[in-house]
A and B are shown apart, each in its own frame.
Chain A
Amino acid sequence: MMKKTVVFLFGAICMLQVFAQEEKMNANTAAKEGGVRLSRWTVEFGGGAYAPLNSVYANQVTDYLQPFREDVYPYFQVGTTYFFHKNWGAVVNVQMLYSGSQDERGVKFINSVYNKYNATYYMETSSAIPDGSNQEITTGGIGIVYRHQYKKWSFMPKLIVGVTGSYGKWGKTLLKQKGTNNYTTVNYTPDQTSYNTFALIPAFTASYRLSRKFMLNIDFTYNYTNSETVIDEAETDLNTNSVTVAKHEYKKPMHAFSAGAGLSYIFK
């Protein structure tokens, strides 16, 4: 039994080697004979617009402290593709979402705190504290790409799996109860410093060969990931020092569509 298994594995490896050699020859032959230059290794840069298809907002005061937004925002991406076959290749891609002005989100958060407490409290101070970065969601992944090559154009459907990293914000406010000496602080804190969740990214790229070394890309991407953000809201009565904690959960599958353009540099 053992002997049969070893012989089978050896045979399978030999067949793969032969297949790979044949495909490599075919690719070289096509490159030379068909007049179509097939790239083997490219590096891509690009950017575009990222449009969420669903919302994670829960009409809570903490909505603007979790990273997923409702509106369209820009992204930047960088990646590399290696074709091990004339049609098939492996792709590594990182997509960074630029979440825009932190001040704007801070103001929205402060307004939502004001609306929640205004009837009973004066809001002494309130702030949403950014983590110093405008890049709140980053998706990185590895996948497979199929290439259908024409003379100048190539069309490449891709399937990428990876991880989406996102960051929640924290905020705080000091409340004074109207007509009393009672003060309350409210601290809003994400339950983790970062959230890393599974991402599935089917994509389609159309490339037009501009020159021997450059291609213009048009990218369409569908992003699926999960929001796992939980924001803790801790109210502390400064007189009694009693603390009550409420959890605001933003656990939901997130869908988005992005479209953009970029350039590929052909190494090989």
Chain B
Amino acid sequence: MTKVNKVLLLLFFACVVEIISSCCDCESTTNFRYKTSAIEVFNLDNGGPRTLIRDTGTIVKNAYGIRLNITSAQTASTGKSFSFFGTCYASSCACPPEKQFLPTDSIVKIRVITLRTFDNTHAAETDIAAYFKVFSNNYLLLLPDYLSKPADIFYDELIHTRSHDLLLMTAPTVTGTHQFRVEAILSTGDTLSSTTKPIMLQ
């Protein structure tokens, strides 16, 4: 065997050892599905250093918001992912998550119905969702923009309840007691709704 062949054989052997040692023993990811099962809303007082849920008393109308809690429920397992290739990452021995929770639906629209007269153009039972913005990651987003984000995929554990703060950016001209019904329209056509407790805005 020539010297060149010996060197090549040595390099080949080193390469095989590297490949064997880099192969990880990872479990395949099990996929689960979840659906939006309920929503719940609360009055928010955003006038102080922190947002507070407030069911009684008075909230400054310029600092009013609605806390929207969206509850999800697991529906079924869709089995393990199948791949001809190993499930471990190419560049490290970290394994992908064992569980993955994928949404079966999404919220396509949110309506905020005022149950009392809000201003001259919005009487009771009209939609004032355009007056609200969602505060998220240091941005204030209109509801359609916020809902246009892809639905959440969870890894390892399903987060059952997620909170979103809808802040009222245009204060009512009519002060007094106000109450709002929030309706979430799902991609499946279903509508989930919840109503805030009456609160005094001034």
A contacts, CB < 8 Å to B: 122, 174, 176, 178-181, 183, 185, 238-239
B62 & A179 in contact (Cβ 8 Å cutoff): yes
Q: Assess A239 versus B133: contact at CB under 8 Å? Given A174-B138, A179-B47, A185-B138.
A: yes
In the bound complex, CA of A180 to CA of B46 (Å):
7
- By Cβ-Cβ distance, the 8 closest A-B pairs, closest first, are A181-B167, A238-B140, A180-B62, A122-B49, A179-B47, A179-B60, A180-B63, A181-B46
Q: Which of B9-62 contact A (CB under 8 A)?
A: 46-49, 60, 62
Q: Number of B residues contacting the other chain (C-beta, 8 Å)?
A: 17
B65 & A238 in contact (Cβ 8 Å cutoff): no
Q: How far is the CB of B46 from chain A (nearest CB, A)?
A: 5
Q: How far is the CB of A135 from chain B (nearest CB, A)?
A: 31
In the bound complex, CA of A162 to CA of B64 (Å):
59
Taking the complex as formed, is B129 at the interface, i.e. its CB lies under 8 A from any CB of chain A? no
Pairs across A and B, CB under 8 Å, 20 listed: A122-B48, A122-B49, A176-B46, A178-B47, A179-B47, A179-B60, A179-B63, A180-B46, A180-B60, A180-B62, A181-B62, A181-B65, A181-B167, A181-B169, A183-B135, A183-B138, A238-B139, A238-B140, A239-B133, A239-B169
A180 & B47 in contact (Cβ 8 Å cutoff): yes
B contacts, CB < 8 Å to A: 46-49, 60, 62-65, 133, 135, 138-140, 167-169
In the bound complex, CA of A179 to CA of B46 (Å):
7
In the bound complex, CA of A174 to CA of B136 (Å):
12
Please name all residues of chain A whose beta carbon is closer than 8 Å to the beta carbon of B169 when the two chains form the complex.
181, 239
Q: Assess A181 versus B63: contact at CB under 8 Å? Given A122-B49, A239-B133, A239-B169.
A: yes
Please give 5 more A-B residue pairs, beta carbons under 8 A apart, in addition to A176-B46, A180-B62: A179-B60, A179-B62, A180-B47, A181-B135, A181-B169
Q: How far is the CB of B112 from chain A (nearest CB, A)?
A: 14
Q: How far is the CB of A256 from chain B (nearest CB, A)?
A: 39
Please name all residues of chain A whose beta carbon is closer than 8 Å to the beta carbon of B64 when the two chains form the complex.
181
Please name all residues of chain A whose beta carbon is closer than 8 Å to the beta carbon of B63 when the two chains form the complex.
179-181
Please name all residues of chain B whose beta carbon is closer than 8 Å to the beta carbon of A176 when the two chains form the complex.
46, 49
In the bound complex, CA of A229 to CA of B169 (Å):
38
Please name all residues of chain B whose beta carbon is closer than 8 Å to the beta carbon of A181 when the two chains form the complex.
46, 62-65, 133, 135, 167-169
In the bound complex, CA of A183 to CA of B170 (Å):
14
In the bound complex, CA of A218 to CA of B63 (Å):
64
In the bound complex, CA of A68 to CA of B85 (Å):
56
Q: How far is the CB of A175 from chain B (nearest CB, A)?
A: 11
Q: How far is the CB of B118 from chain A (nearest CB, A)?
A: 16
Q: How far is the CB of A181 from chain B (nearest CB, A)?
A: 4
In the bound complex, CA of A238 to CA of B63 (Å):
15
Please name all residues of chain A whose beta carbon is closer than 8 Å to the beta carbon of B47 when the two chains form the complex.
178-180
In the bound complex, CA of A43 to CA of B135 (Å):
60
Q: Assess A183 versus B140: contact at CB under 8 Å? Given A122-B49, A239-B169.
A: yes
Please name all residues of chain B whose beta carbon is closer than 8 Å to the beta carbon of A239 when the two chains form the complex.
133, 140, 169
Please name all residues of chain B whose beta carbon is closer than 8 Å to the beta carbon of A183 when the two chains form the complex.
135, 138, 140
In the bound complex, CA of A4 to CA of B149 (Å):
83
In the bound complex, CA of A179 to CA of B202 (Å):
11
Least CB separation from B47: chain A residue: A179
Please name all residues of chain A whose beta carbon is closer than 8 Å to the beta carbon of B49 when the two chains form the complex.
122, 176
Q: Assess A238 versus B138: contact at CB under 8 Å? Given A122-B49, A180-B63, A181-B65.
A: yes
In the bound complex, CA of A90 to CA of B193 (Å):
82
Q: How far is the CB of B117 from chain A (nearest CB, A)?
A: 21
In the bound complex, CA of A128 to CA of B64 (Å):
31
Q: How far is the CB of B199 from chain A (nearest CB, A)?
A: 15
In the bound complex, CA of A181 to CA of B47 (Å):
7
Identify the interface centre among A174, A178, A181: most chain B CB within 10 Å of its CB: A181
Least CB separation from A121: chain B residue: B49
Least CB separation from A185: chain B residue: B138
Please name all residues of chain B whose beta carbon is closer than 8 Å to the beta carbon of A174 when the two chains form the complex.
138
